[in-house]
Chains A and B, each alone.
Chain A
Amino acid sequence: MNSRILRGLFALLLLPFPVLASLGGDVTTVQADQAKMQGSLRTSSNNSYTLHEIQSSTGVAVREYVSTSGKVFAVTWQGPFHPDLRQLLGTYFDQFEQAEQAQRTQRRGHGPVLIQQAGLVVQISGHMRAFVGKAYVPQMLPAGFHAEDIR
């Protein structure tokens, strides 16, 4: 049995006690996301990260990428509504909110959110009742992991 399968089994064992966190947060200390979304959870892992997938009660599919050191380095979502971004972005929420406001003024109109800062990337697009989004902290991506791999 190779280590990947072992890790997968380990993740499955955690299923009754889902451990999910906000962006940048510690996976072992926060279980709030899944509880808040009252959704179902699926977990899979490979050598560089563990992927937690929550299907929220409002139909939003949330994915959280957790590094082997237990930190959430990326989150994505897709669904008819936005997820609770204050919960999902954690300590990065205020930075996101300010950047979103600043971009609106600079853009001279409405369109998708494309925040590209040194310490935070947030992208939100779509239209009413069909939104997609992703957020990650560039410095926290595991070695060999590319931002394009966040889906």
Chain B
Amino acid sequence: MAKRIDVADLNIYYGETLAVQDVSMSIEPRSVTALIGPSGCGKSTFLRSLNRMHELIPKARVAGKVMVDGQDLYAPDVDPVAVRSQIGMVFQRPNPFPTMSIYDNVAAGIKLNAKRMRTSELDEIVERSLRQANLWDEVKDRLDKPGTGLSGGQQQRLCIARAIAVRPDVLLMDEPCSALDPISTQKIEDLITELKADYTIVIVTHNMQQAARVSDTTAFFNLRGIGQPGQLVEIGDTATIFSAPANKATEDYISGRFG
């Protein structure tokens, strides 16, 4: 189920401006890859291009290839909606649907697409997703209460449950813990380590310690200069990147000399 991603010479443009330049990397299935780097260096832009969410911004376009298990996401006749059904996303601020109950939120990926399913099947999927997101015990008695009645950390785990309910091959996470307190953050980091067994996970994070704790592979992005596009500077095994990076800029960032 979890798939590998191969990015080849990806350039991301907003209109005529080049935002991210020449990114090439491979992401192994069933692994966690962390994208780190200073603000504005293109990590989130790159992440969003992996499930074609950057297209929501007018005039955003891409040159290059993103291959998921051999299929190019940017081939001419590819439907972005179909791409997103296989590559899910969790956002920085928890965004459960306010008009829906917890149950409906988790089932949203299925219900909103009007897929016909027996209630018992749906119940099973909701329970399984909430269990995988480590939220089942906390909400199993109030599945019909609104999704916004939970704490921030619980809401984020609800959003994760919502994303995994549709069994995507890849899970993209855009700074999922930056709006949360340390205890919720730890719960979600533990969750990521568990989810690794079934999903390919790519996580953008500003928190280098989090990247070190959670990921197998780390990719360091940086701007070439002020007003220049972002670039992939170095990618490698997390332990190596944090102890003996090959690139001077990586080392400077990791030791806090800038960023």
Tell me whether A and B are bound partners: no
